[in-house]
Amino acid sequence: MTERQYRIAGAADIGGTNTRVGLVQEDGKIIRMLRFPTPVTGTAGDIPLSIARAIHDIAGDIPLAGLGIAAAGPLDIRAGILDHPPNIPFDTVPIVVPLMEETHLPVIFRNDCRAAVLGEVCAGGASGYDTVVYITISTGIGGGVFTHGRVLTGRGGNAGEIGHFPVDSTYTFPCTCGLSGHWEGFASGRGIPVFFKEWCIAHNLPCTMTIASDILQLSITDPVYSGFLDALAQINGRGLSAVIVAYDPDCIILDGTVIQSHPDLLDQALLYTDRYLDLPDCKLSLLHGDAPLIGAAMAVFHPEMI
């Protein structure tokens, strides 16, 4: 079957550093993709404009069913804007209206993790499950929840911000959101170095590492620091326990650079995950980091699901 026999959607995944734009078939296959630095020096309007130009460049004469846009939150899906994004230096970024005006296509805009769970359900490892939670453990920690045929969105599209689940009350250092005790503050790529520094102080050990992957490697190879791996496993176990009792999923998909490069973190976390409810199937994403982009396109084909 050739690609032209499928419907095709344009999709974009807006990150703090890079924006990825692609053409995605109805079966979830990405047929074209390009990546460029997210514009952060001009005006907020440069962001939707750069996406419209990229879509125009890669689509040419290919008819598109619509545009699906994913971005790290917080966002306001009713207004179609990014609302005070922490990683982009603009207060608000209008997305939906400028993209509709530039491309004359229907535009659907969702949080990247909410898009990603749809990508996993439609074209990834969560196919066939009733209730699915997608968890990314990367620079931050985020989640998307799918249940009974729909993605849970909440008031403004921010339901499933599991990175801000409280998981500890013994340390007082702040999470990236400014509050303390949150999962993301301890176990994300940005949080691990902060947690490690505080853990070393509490255990009277020298702290020379500042990068998450170096710290995890040290904790694996040096028995003096192996206790940190156990402390991190307890934090991740509490996070997973909260996810399981909050949503009662039959499948959890884990993704993101931290967990994908250290899959043992999942097995260690499961040792500390409560069994109040039965453990769901827990597995790593096989979509190579493309779940948000694929899911944004799936939102165009299945608007009733998101």
- Supply the minimum distance, in Å, between the C-beta of residue 33 and Zn ion: 31
**Number of Cβ atoms within 10 Å of the Cβ of 197:** 15
Ordered DSSP codes for 49-93: HHHHHHHHHHHTT---S-EEEEE-S-EETTTTEEES-TTSSSSEE
CB of 181 to Zn ion, least distance (A): 8
Closest separation between CB of residue 95 and Zn ion, Å?
A: 24
x/- binding map, residues 147-166, to Zn ion, per CB under 5 A?
-----------------x--
19: enclosing H helix or E strand: strand 18-25
**Alpha carbon 1 to chain centroid distance?**
32
CB closest to Zn ion, residue no: 175
What's the Cα-to-Cα distance from 280 to each of 160, 246, 274, 276, 306, rounded to whole Å?
17, 13, 12, 12, 23
- Backbone dihedral angles phi then psi of residue 275, each to the nearest 5 degrees: -110, 30
Nearer to Zn ion, 177 or 284 (CB): 177
**302 touches Zn ion (CB under 5 A):** no
Q: How many CB atoms lie within 10 A of CB 142?
A: 27
Candidate residues 31, 49, 100, 177; the one interacting with Zn ion per rule CB under 5 A: 177
Q: CA torsion sign, 189 to 195 to 200 to 201?
A: positive
List 72, 113, 145, 175, residue binding Zn ion (CB under 5 A): 175
How far is it between the farthest Cα atoms of the chain?
64
CB of 182 to Zn ion, least distance (A): 3
Nearer to Zn ion, 160 or 295 (CB): 160
Q: Under DSSP, is residue 240 helix (H, G, I), strand (E, B) or coil?
A: helix
Contact 11, 68 (CB under 8 A): yes
Q: How far is the CB of 30 from Zn ion (least distance, A)?
A: 32
Stretch that binds Zn ion, among 168-176, 204-212, 214-222, 235-243 (CB under 5 A): 168-176
In terms of CB distance, is 20 or 164 closer to Zn ion? 164
Of 21 and 235, CB closest to Zn ion: 235
At 6, the amino acid letter reads Y
Which of these segments, 173-181, 221-229, 276-284, 297-305, binds Zn ion (CB under 5 A)?
Answer: 173-181
Residue number with CB closer to Zn ion (37 or 174) = 174
Q: Which is nearer to Zn ion, 175 or 269 (CB)?
A: 175
Of 83-102, binders to Zn ion (CB under 5 A) are none
Q: How far is the CB of 278 from Zn ion (least distance, A)?
A: 28
The token duo for 244 is 């399981």
Least separation in angstroms between CB 185 and Zn ion: 6
Q: Indicate the residue among 100 and 177 with the shorter CB distance to Zn ion.
A: 177
Kindly tell me which residue out of 20, 114, 182, 238 binds Zn ion, with binding defined by CB under 5 A: 182
CA distance 237 to 231: 10
Judged by the rule CB under 5 A, the positions of this chain that interact with Zn ion are 164, 175, 177, 182
